[in-house]
Chain A
Amino acid sequence: MEKYKLFDAEYKFVSIIWDNEPINSTELVKLCADKLGWKKSTTYTVLKKLCERGILENRDATVSALVKRDDVQRYESRAVLDKTFDGSLPKFLTAFLSGRKLSEQEAEELKRIIEEAVK
Chain B
Amino acid sequence: MSFLQELFLNVVNMSITASYVAIGVILVRLLLKKAPKVFSYILWIPVLFRLVCPFSFDSAFSFFNLINLNAKQGSGVSEFVPQNIGLMQTPVIQSGIGSIDSAANASLPSAIPVASANPMQVWLAVFSLIWVFGVIALFIYSIISYVKIKRKLQTATRVDGNVFETDAIGTAFVCGFIRPKIYVPANIGDANLSYILEHEHTHIRRKDYLIKPIAFLALILHWFNPLMWLCFALMSRDMEMSCDESVLRRLGDGAKGGYSNSLLSLSVKRKGLLAANPLAFGENHAKARIRNVLNFKKPAFWVIVAAVAAVCVAGFAFAANPSESAAYISEDYKISFKYPSSWKLNPNYIERYEGKDGFFQVGAINGENMSIDEVAKNDAFHKLQPYGSEPEIINRTIDGQEARLILPSADQPEEMKNQAGLIIKYPKAIKIDGSQYRYFILWADKTHIDQISNTLTFLIKQAGDENSPDKIASLIEENLAAIMSSPKNSSNPQDYINAHQTEYEAILALETQALPYLFAEFEKGGQTGLKGYIMQNLCWDILGEDNIQYASKDPQDWYDTFKKHVQRIAASSSVDSLRTTNPEYGALLDAINISGTEGIAKLVEENLAVIISSPKEASNPYAYIDMHKEEYEKILETGKEALPYLIDILESGDKGLRGNIAVTLCEDIVKRLLAGNKDVDLETEKLIKEALMAVDKWNAIMGNKSQEVIMPEFTEEEVAAARAVVEEYYRAVAAKDAEAILATMYPQEHLTMERVKSGNVRLFGTEKRTLLSIDYDSQDSMRKSYKPGGKYVEPENIIVFKVSFNIDYPDKDTGPWNEGVYENWSMILIRDDKNSPWLIYDQGY
Quick one: given A101-B280, A102-B267, A114-B264, are A84 and B233 in contact (CB under 8 Å)? no
* B168 adjacent to A118 (CB under 8 Å): no
A106 interfacial by beta-carbon distance below 8 Å: yes
A36–B186 alpha-carbon span in the complex (Å): 13
CB of A16 to closest CB in B, whole Å? 10
A100–B216 alpha-carbon span in the complex (Å): 21
A61 interfacial by beta-carbon distance below 8 Å: no
B155 interfacial by beta-carbon distance below 8 Å: yes
Chain A residues, Cβ within 8 Å of B178: none
Q: For the complex, count residues of B whose C-beta is within 8 A of A.
A: 60
* B271 adjacent to A9 (CB under 8 Å): no
B155 and chain A: residue at smallest CB distance: A9
Select one of A37, A80, A99, A113 contacting B280, CB under 8 A.
A99
Chain A residues, Cβ within 8 Å of B236: 86, 97
Chain A residues, Cβ within 8 Å of B284: 99-102, 106
* A84 adjacent to B168 (CB under 8 Å): no
A115–B145 alpha-carbon span in the complex (Å): 38
A113–B145 alpha-carbon span in the complex (Å): 36
8 nearest CB pairs, A to B: A37-B158, A118-B257, A88-B145, A8-B167, A9-B155, A95-B277, A80-B170, A36-B157
B581 interfacial by beta-carbon distance below 8 Å: no
B276 and chain A: residue at smallest CB distance: A101
Chain A positions 47-85 with a Cβ under 8 Å from a chain B Cβ = 75-85
* B166 adjacent to A102 (CB under 8 Å): no
A31–B138 alpha-carbon span in the complex (Å): 40
A111–B294 alpha-carbon span in the complex (Å): 12
B546 interfacial by beta-carbon distance below 8 Å: no
Quick one: given A97-B236, A101-B280, are A12 and B157 in contact (CB under 8 Å)? yes
B303 interfacial by beta-carbon distance below 8 Å: no
B232 and chain A: residue at smallest CB distance: A97
Query: Would you give 9 A-B contacts (Cβ < 8 Å), ordered by A?
Result: A7-B167, A7-B168, A80-B169, A81-B168, A82-B274, A88-B149, A110-B286, A111-B261, A113-B294
Q: For the complex, count residues of A whose C-beta is within 8 A of B.
A: 51
* A88 adjacent to B216 (CB under 8 Å): yes
* B149 adjacent to A81 (CB under 8 Å): yes
A88–B282 alpha-carbon span in the complex (Å): 21
Chain A residues, Cβ within 8 Å of B145: 87-89
A100–B268 alpha-carbon span in the complex (Å): 12
B259 and chain A: residue at smallest CB distance: A114
A112–B283 alpha-carbon span in the complex (Å): 18
Quick one: given A9-B167, A88-B146, are A111 and B264 in contact (CB under 8 Å)? yes
A1 interfacial by beta-carbon distance below 8 Å: no
A57–B154 alpha-carbon span in the complex (Å): 22
* A85 adjacent to B213 (CB under 8 Å): yes
Chain B positions 255-310 with a Cβ under 8 Å from a chain A Cβ = 256-257, 260-261, 264, 267-268, 270-274, 276-277, 279-288, 290-291, 294
* B173 adjacent to A77 (CB under 8 Å): no
* Chain B CB within 10 Å, residue with most, of A8, A81, A100, A107: A81
* A9 adjacent to B294 (CB under 8 Å): no
* B260 adjacent to A35 (CB under 8 Å): no
Quick one: given A85-B212, A107-B268, A113-B290, are A9 and B156 in contact (CB under 8 Å)? yes
B145 and chain A: residue at smallest CB distance: A88
Quick one: given A80-B168, A80-B270, are A110 and B290 in contact (CB under 8 Å)? yes
B267 and chain A: residue at smallest CB distance: A102
* A87 adjacent to B167 (CB under 8 Å): no
Chain A residues, Cβ within 8 Å of B174: 84
Select one of B158, B272, B281 contacting A100, CB under 8 A.
B281
* A114 adjacent to B271 (CB under 8 Å): no
Chain B residues, Cβ within 8 Å of A8: 157, 165-167, 186-187
Chain B positions 209-257 with a Cβ under 8 Å from a chain A Cβ = 212-213, 216, 229, 232-233, 236, 256-257
B142 interfacial by beta-carbon distance below 8 Å: yes
B279 and chain A: residue at smallest CB distance: A92
* A82 adjacent to B286 (CB under 8 Å): no
* B279 adjacent to A81 (CB under 8 Å): no
* B141 adjacent to A100 (CB under 8 Å): no
* A114 adjacent to B294 (CB under 8 Å): yes
* B166 adjacent to A9 (CB under 8 Å): yes
Chain B residues, Cβ within 8 Å of A97: 229, 232-233, 236
B264 and chain A: residue at smallest CB distance: A110
Chain A residues, Cβ within 8 Å of B232: 97
* B157 adjacent to A95 (CB under 8 Å): no
* A101 adjacent to B142 (CB under 8 Å): no
B175 interfacial by beta-carbon distance below 8 Å: yes
Chain A residues, Cβ within 8 Å of B156: 9, 37
B565 interfacial by beta-carbon distance below 8 Å: no
A80–B270 alpha-carbon span in the complex (Å): 8
* Chain A CB within 10 Å, residue with most, of B152, B169, B216: B169
B159 and chain A: residue at smallest CB distance: A37
CB of A56 to closest CB in B, whole Å? 15
Select one of B173, B213, B264, B270 contacting A101, CB under 8 A.
B270
B171 interfacial by beta-carbon distance below 8 Å: yes
* A81 adjacent to B152 (CB under 8 Å): yes
A111–B170 alpha-carbon span in the complex (Å): 19
B519 interfacial by beta-carbon distance below 8 Å: no
B164 interfacial by beta-carbon distance below 8 Å: yes
A110–B287 alpha-carbon span in the complex (Å): 7
* Chain B CB within 10 Å, residue with most, of A78, A85, A99: A85
* B167 adjacent to A104 (CB under 8 Å): no
Chain B residues, Cβ within 8 Å of A79: 152, 168
Select one of A76, A89, A118 contacting B167, CB under 8 A.
A76
Select one of A10, A75, A96 contacting B155, CB under 8 A.
A10
A46–B156 alpha-carbon span in the complex (Å): 11
A42 interfacial by beta-carbon distance below 8 Å: yes
B175 and chain A: residue at smallest CB distance: A84
Chain B residues, Cβ within 8 Å of A10: 155
Quick one: given A83-B171, A100-B280, A114-B264, are A107 and B271 in contact (CB under 8 Å)? yes
CB of A13 to closest CB in B, whole Å? 8
A76–B156 alpha-carbon span in the complex (Å): 13
B171 and chain A: residue at smallest CB distance: A83
16 further contact pairs, Cβ within 8 A, besides A79-B152, A110-B260, A117-B257: A8-B157, A12-B157, A38-B158, A77-B168, A82-B270, A85-B212, A85-B213, A88-B142, A97-B232, A99-B285, A100-B277, A104-B271, A110-B287, A114-B290, A115-B257, A118-B257
Chain A positions 14-39 with a Cβ under 8 Å from a chain B Cβ = 35-39
Chain B positions 665-708 with a Cβ under 8 Å from a chain A Cβ = none
A85–B229 alpha-carbon span in the complex (Å): 14
* Chain A CB within 10 Å, residue with most, of B167, B274, B286: B167
CB of B664 to closest CB in A, whole Å? 103
* B290 adjacent to A101 (CB under 8 Å): no
Chain B residues, Cβ within 8 Å of A7: 155, 167-168
A25–B287 alpha-carbon span in the complex (Å): 48
* B280 adjacent to A95 (CB under 8 Å): yes
Chain A residues, Cβ within 8 Å of B267: 102, 107
A91 and chain B: residue at smallest CB distance: B277
A49 and chain B: residue at smallest CB distance: B155
* Chain B CB within 10 Å, residue with most, of A93, A98, A111: A98
* B286 adjacent to A102 (CB under 8 Å): yes
Select one of B260, B268, B276 contacting A114, CB under 8 A.
B260
Select one of B157, B270, B286 contacting A9, CB under 8 A.
B157
* B229 adjacent to A36 (CB under 8 Å): no
B143 and chain A: residue at smallest CB distance: A88
Chain B residues, Cβ within 8 Å of A82: 170-171, 270, 274
A91–B154 alpha-carbon span in the complex (Å): 22
A100–B158 alpha-carbon span in the complex (Å): 32
CB of A106 to closest CB in B, whole Å? 6
A12 and chain B: residue at smallest CB distance: B157
* A37 adjacent to B157 (CB under 8 Å): yes
CB of A101 to closest CB in B, whole Å? 6
A101–B456 alpha-carbon span in the complex (Å): 64
A106–B285 alpha-carbon span in the complex (Å): 12
* A102 adjacent to B157 (CB under 8 Å): no
Select one of A77, A87, A117 contacting B256, CB under 8 A.
A117
* B216 adjacent to A36 (CB under 8 Å): no
